[in-house]
Amino acid sequence: MEEYILKYMVKDHPCCAPFKLVPIKNWDRLIYLDSLGEIRDKGFIKFGEGTSTWHSTSERKALIGVTYYLHECGNGKSEYAGFIIEREPEFYEFVDCSVVGAALQFSVRKEILTIYKIRKTLKELKEKLPYYDEFKKIIESLALGYVLYRDITLKPLKITSFNYKDFFYYLYKNDLEGRLKQETYTKITNLDEEADKIKDGKIKDVNYILDIAKRFEDTLKAKITIK
């Protein structure tokens, strides 16, 4: 996982590639405000790489990740999941594939988690599982990661590398405000062994949800602190 700032450079390059990629450590902390007072710069967390023919007849290098808000009200929450393409040296186009907040509210909470078998299973677990709210954050993060990754792959993009472990955990920690450490989260979700199946939607398998519940409960019995 690498963190950058996408600096809005439209005055210098007013085409389809208005962003300059700046490592977070080199950011000058200055922001671009448009005529409506909106911040056009974005934070960018890189999780993978690939190539894309988006708006091009040739393949170009693409960096895949999630942008986040820089204004105080956003509080670092994710904005879009997508990828950036270098159009010219130092100038990038951002391709947004999903609005993260909308995907969580609608694709996850109003679609996937309302599937009858899943809804029934979660209702039963809520009645008996300690720290159920924390458990549900794990489930939602896996469903959200699946939806976002799926939407990214619908674009003309060939993914050559992707850090699933960091991606799912980032969503859990940053957007769902989960409290478990990454090592514990990875063990409960079995990401080390089943990342490929999880990113393809294994969260829709009730048996997998029950397996997570069992490992979550075992974690509590081992007295691993949920801070």
Task: Check: pTM over 0.85? Answer yes or no.
Answer: yes
Number of domains in the chain: 2
- The pLDDT score that the predictor gives to residue 189 is 95
Q: Please list the rounded mean pLDDT of every run of 10 residues in the chain (227 residues).
A: 88 68 88 67 94 90 93 75 88 91 96 96 96 97 96 95 97 96 95 91 95 93 66
Residues 125 and 214 in one domain: yes
Domain with 144, as residue range(s), is 101-221
Predicted local confidence at residue 12, as pLDDT: 56
| Structural domain contains residue 108 | yes
Q: Are residues 16 and 105 in the same domain?
A: no
Whether residue 122 is found in the same domain as residue 82:
no
The answer as to whether 226 is a domain residue is: no
Q: What is the DSSP string of the chain?
A: -EEEEEEE-TTT--SS--EEEEEGGG------B-TTS-B--EEEEEEEEEEE-TTSSS-EEEEEEEEE--STTTTT-EEEEEEEEEEETTEEEEEEEEEHHHIIIIIITTTGGGSHHHHHHHHHHHHH-TTHHHHHHHHHHHHHHHHHHHHHHTSSEEEEEE-HHHHHHHIIIIIS---S-HHHHHHHHTHHHHHHHHHTTGGG-HHHHHHHHHHHHHHHHTT----
Assess whether 136 and 149 both reside in one domain.
Answer: yes
pLDDT digits (tens, 9 = 90+) for 72-90: 655 678 999 999 998 888 7
Q: Residue 29 has what pLDDT?
A: 80
pLDDT of residue 8: 87
Q: What is the pLDDT of residues 147-194, one digit of tens each?
A: 999 999 999 999 999 999 999 999 999 999 999 999 999 999 999 999
Domain co-membership, 132 together with 199: yes
Mark whether 143 and 81 lie in a shared domain: no
Q: Which one of 51, 75, 99 terminates a domain?
A: 99
**202 shares a domain with 107:** yes
Chosen domain end from 81, 99, 117: 99
Q: Are residues 6 and 94 in the same domain?
A: yes
Whether 106 and 83 map to the same domain: the answer is no
